[in-house]
Structure 1
């Protein structure tokens, strides 16, 4: 096709300009979030209560999980596991995991842990770090938290500010929240709602108009903005749930509406007072006076178990498949993959699943989340005569409906027969 024929179509011209804009901004102005020493997220965007329901962990379980923000892994300590192996290529996420685990062990009491990990503007946290944590960190974790940022402050100053506002994706989320506020969104009204009906009314009247603003929609149709929020191209395709076609703008428009629908569910289907995910999205801090408002690993009723078993957290800086290749056959009772499969190609998934199948103990479970609505596994996993995995679609849907994070499109629990 010659250039004249291509540009004859206004739609093609618009798509071409949009593609150039995305590529230029992505390369020239937006740094990659995939650096292996950059903190990506300071909390896990997955509901630990749902994880525990799904996995039904027994005492002395051997667990492997993607590290992410570490909140979920620490919550699993309440089930008295034999070991929790947290695997990540990113040394920053492992340093975050370690300092959270060491805080549970070495800070004087529950109140000190809560102030260190959940409350913003606690200048005494600098003393807590120096007195109780620094000497107990590994060399790698200590190096990470001692390193100074561009302002000349050591990274551990994050604990005297607001830990939940730190991390690559959190910074992007703050930018979008600021933009929406400038466009008229009133997130500050949501915590004042007395019930779900009021939350829905506030969303419709005071938030949705900003989400439908042309400026905001324009940004949400840009690939580089979605990348900054943590969506890679595989996930964008899963969100669209449709094959790529020439009408790229239409696909992106549908995608922005889908994201708005999920945000609506996050902010309207669960009480704000009991949903720390919603609190983080709207810019609120944890409502520490309400225990049910806190992530599970920060709730007082599980603190004694977490303190007792936190030494059973084991960080590993590896690719997941490389770690599993080092494990003995039938040695793992639970695999928590989060949305890891969304980032892999079909061939990579097949190779990873071979190792999961080899390492899985009898009765093992695998927990998978996806931004799409389809199970991101090849059908051969279930179709061969040697297939040893099963899943319950109704149970998966029930768990997904209760997940307060609400940003994922699906959740799957696989059981080994």
Structure 2
């Protein structure tokens, strides 16, 4: 997950800052904090190498929780980190006046722009669901060529029609299964292989029919895996969790939750919430983790942005979204004071130095409209701002601890330890 300049993205030839071949220098610069010939420096560079490709085909923050926290109104201006783009699309269903999407990862920028174009130009909702939620449909590639490609800006079209190492165009992934690709998709596949090597098939979870059966599957099949020596050793290595998008800095935050030399207990607890706290029919995050796909209509619900009732609002207002390949702080630096109502930082602050945090919150405080709301997540449970961001900046904000805790319980992705809401004080 990352950050991102005024680009009118989906179909306009005026888009100039689209993904290029610069190998994500902006992203790498943001990740590197230590000298190369140190353990921390080597870890950061390895993570940067892995993270420079597509990481998240979908987001792993629950947009329903975000929207409950933000209470989006039609006059609102939102700035959000893009990631897989599902959050931006969900927010758009509430028809805010403007959404600026930022991301330092050029692959995520291309994915966000493509998803917006799909909403605007595919003929019907059913075509959109086939394109973004169904697998093994080669007709999706034909739909891209006929309906979407002619409306993309040149750089984004060049990205999706560029060739992969196997000679196929990048867009061909939509004819297979988008959600089995990217760093996270490969990590989930490897996790399944590791579990199967220990006699457990995680995909069997999708056959459960009640919370009781889900709990039984977790207690009897999944929980014992975290006591296996190989798994405890692997979860003690920072590099083994890079596939989850957990950088070295976040690993250290998670490690602060355990007195052991492994994150196995922390990960077990998070997996327990994912598996046991929400009915499978209502948790598409669990479907992605265990079924490696979205549920079919008789199996469960799709994400908010793919549900029929959200379709027209997203399609008709897609031009209100502007996608930028730059940092959150740099984008805010060009905005006028008091012009942003809602800020969505995902988990990006976990990666930041104290200087980066203070630079970011200086711009947030300067650009915040009366009543503005900032939401973000953290690997650990506590907010990371106290003691790191200057008191003079934080004095402008109220931390809604009670509401933050209540909504964190409702986050179906179960990945993070904390969900946090800060409100601009008068």
Indicate the TM-score class for this superposition, using the shorter chain for normalisation: 0.7 to 0.9
Q: Which moved more, 1:173-182 or 1:209-218?
A: 209-218
Partner of 2:319: 311
Larger Rg: 1
* 2:234 match: 219
Contact 1:110 1:300 in 2 (8 A): yes
Give the 3 Å change call, closer, same or farther, for CA 308–205 of structure 1 in structure 2.
same
Does the aligned pair in 1 maintain the 2:118–2:148 contact within 8 Å?
yes
| 1:90–1:317 Cα contact (<8 Å) kept | yes
- Encode CA deviations 1:151-205: one digit per residue, 9 max, x unaligned: 0000000100011111122212211221112212232332222221111111111
> Where do 5+ consecutive residues of structure 2 fail to align?
1-36
TM-score (norm 1): 0.88
Partners of 2:354 and 2:389 within 8 A in 1: no
Change (3 A) 1:236 1:24: closer
Q: How many residues align?
A: 388
Instruction: Tell me what 1:75 maps to.
Output: 90
Deviations 1:299-355 (A, max 9, x none): 111111111111111111111111110111111010000001001011210111000
Specify the SS of the correspondent of 2:66.
helix
How far apart are the structure 2 equivalents of 1:366 and 1:317?
A: 21
Question: 1:281-303, CA deviations, whole angstroms, 9 ceiling, x for partnerless residues?
Answer: 11342113059621111111111
Q: Residues 381, 362 of structure 1: CA spacing in aligned structure 2 closer, same or farther, 3 A cutoff?
A: farther
- Does the residue aligned with 1:221 lie in a helix, a strand or coil? coil
- 1:351–1:25 Cα change, 3 Å: closer
Q: Does 1:172 align with 2:187?
A: yes
1:29-81 deviation digits (Å, cap 9, x = unpaired):
9882232xx21110000111111000001112111000111000011111111
Corresponding residue of 2:160: 145
Q: Distance in 2 between the 1:342 and 1:385 partners?
A: 18
CA distance in 1, matches of 2:321, 2:48: 32
Distance 1:290 1:382 in 2: 51
Q: Structure 1 25/341 Cα, relative in aligned 2: closer, same or farther at 3 Å?
A: closer
Q: Does the alignment pair 1:285 with 2:262? A: no
What's the C-alpha RMSD, in Å, of the aligned pairs?
Answer: 2.4
Alpha carbons of structure 1 residues 331 and 267: separation in structure 2 relative to 1, 3 Å: same
Structure in which a larger fraction of residues adopt helix: 1
Q: Scaled by the length of structure 2, what TM-score is found? A: 0.86
CA deviation after TM superposition for structure 1 residue 376, in Å: 1.4
Q: Could you tell which deviates more after superposition, 180-189 or 271-280?
A: 180-189
Which of these residues, 58, 72, 84, is aligned with residue 57 of structure 1?
72
Q: Where does the alignment leave 5 or more consecutive residues of structure 1 unmatched?
A: 1-19, 244-249
Report 1:389-404 matches (<5 A): 389-404=397-412
CA contact 1:332–1:361 (8 Å) conserved in 2: yes
String of CA shifts for 1:69-102, please: whole Å, max 9, x gaps: 1000011111111111000111110100011011
Secondary structure of the corresponding residue to residue 353 of structure 1: helix
